[in-house]
Amino acid sequence: MNEENPWVTLTCHEVYDNNWINVTHRDVLNPAGGKGIYGMVHFKNAAIGIIPLDDDNNTWIVGQYRYTLEEYSWEIVEGGGTLGVSLLDSAMRELLEETGIVASDWQQIAELHTSNSVTDEFGVVYIARGLTFTDADPEETELLQVRKLPFWELHKMAMRGEITDAMSLVGILKVAEMLRNGTAI
């Protein structure tokens, strides 16, 4: 079976646009040739996740109330990449803004699509090492708690189901593998 695009887009019109997302409604032919519709949510920025690690493998996580979920969520450091700025530069800025940490060594450990049935959101996760500490400067839309804890305690939280953010889970579980098999910086 070939892996070419079996979908046909017949019509496409914008139904919503803001600084972060663009939503379009499409009339389509599905892979079987049947008529259907598709509501597609395009994300304008990449999602970026950062797991900073100090020499003792302590890490820092961020707690915030998530508007969409109507619940509090502890996550790895995350932010949206800025258009025209490299993902790594965006990651450095996000780590500094949320935790006050500057890191000298960076390793990209995962690329992911968060929710590919409806969105094209793309994310990357980094390990950050070589840490120095300054004053944090969160954006005003954010009311964040920052918590320092051993990475392996965070891993236990993830295994116990206390972390539900998908990008955080991917990052934490992958860092655990990489620390154990010696491929993490």
| Residue 81 beta carbon to a copy of itself: minimum distance, rounded to whole angstroms | 12
In 10 A of CB 139, how many CB atoms?
11
SS3 label, residue 144: coil
- Residue 58 sits at φ, ψ, to 5 deg, of -80, 150
| Residue 55 beta carbon to a copy of itself: minimum distance, rounded to whole angstroms | 25
| Residue 19 beta carbon to a copy of itself: minimum distance, rounded to whole angstroms | 8
| Residue 132 beta carbon to a copy of itself: minimum distance, rounded to whole angstroms | 25
Q: Give the tokens for residue 118.
A: 């409806």
Interface contacts to a copy of itself, rule CB under 8 A = 1, 3-7, 15-16, 18, 20-21, 23, 25, 28, 30-32, 34, 36-41, 43, 47, 63, 65-70, 72-73, 78, 80, 110-121, 123, 140-143, 145, 159, 161, 164-167, 169-170, 173-174, 176-177
